[in-house]
Chains A and B, each alone.
Chain A
């Protein structure tokens, strides 16, 4: 691990960072990640980030909520599942059968939303490895303030030499180029 060091380029402008990313990717360098204090337009595309699968998770969570909402109400309020025991729920004097489905719409709707919102939030935290209690690995304290970071893994360099990467990053106006241990154990 000792010789594996992240290459960090520090920028003070989103456009400069974006141009550096574009140039580096053209040369065949794989970017590990960029850290910016605000969203930089087109950066995700330029970095070649793949689309997230979180939406599939959101859909499944929503379906779970939808079905549990329906099941909950059929279970508690009607005799369809043979679970109805004690106290009839009178809804507008309607019979306790499928004709009371409209009254189930709000609860089903709300549960779908609730499950989707919480589910996608939790899934995102899991996927981004932002588990509660975990100590944040900040590559450079300035990334939390007003600087942008471009991080490249040594394996991502491909056939491009280190000096070439440095010159490209400098040409696009990097304030500083530095290295950092991968595991974050000791700062360079």
Chain B
């Protein structure tokens, strides 16, 4: 019976055993091998195709125009009113661009090339795992700011997940610095420097130039992430010092830093999601896009915290974490799955209703024959399955069911991000192959290794946290 009030607990220390290290390392290595095989395969296919079509310039240009479905459809929408001249003009443009790209030794931003697909995968996974880290930091900050004590026991798990933030910073900066040519077609557009009246001049792009420019992109994204890392370091140091010295000073300071972080996070995360993800479809925009990204971040972040906690519990650690705390984490997963669905339908429904060409193209691309199955799977896995599975109280208190729901949520939102990136970059030639699976395994292996390694360095409970015992005795009633 749960009415015995616990007044002290023993601290625990997680040991990252050699066996676990080997298993997690194996995921990483296998993922890396699969990715390389995938790349080689794609490169082979790609090379064969271009060899066949190399015969005439004309042919190649057509091929390129076909491959670059995405910019083409944008352009046709854009220049729709210009009428019949559009198509040949675009072909010519594509050919010209292709020639220019060849000069630079660059495959261009057209879909279908193996390099584009590789960078798309790296971007997608960098962003996906970055979301876990930043959501975990947000979770810590929210608990401080709301003066909430129930999650104190799992705070170290969340902190360990935030330790991935510097790695996420590196991977995203690498994508931005090296892969931007393959991913962001607006960068190519602005490189050309069209004047008003030029054939390629694009009114929509020009109107976005004050924000969608190299300054915001190449400086803004790293600066935002560095500030996140600084906040993370500060909160972590306060937490560790609290362990050493005790007292409530560190707690009060943490509240102040958390409140500051939440305000900064609201603005900066929006900007980052626009720059990194929404600008993949540079013509398109959605005002709720950053909230949508936040919904993904928070639900996946909570799921990851929950899964790590369950893993530790299954290994015999974290015995002080009662079913009540796990139950509340499950409730959070359940609630934010619904929140995600709410934001998803809020974005989808308005665009679907209004049916404006420049808006509806986003979902047109995502419900094409290539992506329609995934589009439906996404909704089912991110909302319907977690909703139905986690609805029952017993499900949230059963580690196995909770783990199953967690994995479903994570896969669902992986597809979610896949649908945000791939239709915009790779286009209709996209598929989930060795590269996609391998790259995700690589990132997942690295992420798990990094987090568990960080977790093994410090004690599992913040012993001097004023709300520790509240969390230990946390009770949600019968």
Contacts and interface: CB of A to CB of B under 8 A. Distances in A.
8 contacts: A42-B3, A44-B477, A45-B478, A50-B478, A51-B478, A59-B391, A91-B353, A102-B349
B393 A55 contact: yes
Contacts of B477: 44-45
A141 interface: no
Interface of B: 1-3, 5, 345, 348-349, 352-355, 391, 393, 473, 475, 477-478
Interface of A: 18, 22, 41-42, 44-46, 49-52, 55, 59, 91-93, 102-103, 105-106
B340 to A, nearest CB: 14
Given A92-B354, A102-B349, A49 B478 contact: yes
Contacts of B354: 92
A46 B349 CA distance: 49
A55 B395 CA distance: 14
Contacts of B1: 45-46
Contacts of B353: 91-92, 103
Contacts of B355: 92-93
A46 B3 contact: yes
A38 B285 CA distance: 50
Nearest to A39: B477
A45 B3 CA distance: 7
A58 to B, nearest CB: 10
Contacts of A59: 391
A103 B351 CA distance: 11
Contacts of A105: 345, 349
Contacts of B391: 59
Nearest to A103: B353
Contacts of A106: 349
Given A22-B3, A102-B348, 14 more contacts: A41-B473, A42-B3, A42-B475, A45-B1, A45-B3, A46-B1, A49-B478, A51-B393, A51-B478, A55-B393, A91-B353, A92-B355, A102-B352, A106-B349
Contacts of B348: 102
- The 10 A-B residue pairs with the shortest CB-CB distance, nearest first, are A46-B3, A42-B3, A44-B478, A92-B353, A45-B2, A92-B355, A51-B478, A44-B477, A102-B352, A45-B3
Contacts of A49: 478
Contacts of A93: 355
A45 B475 contact: yes
A52 B477 CA distance: 11
B4 to A, nearest CB: 9
Contacts of A46: 1, 3
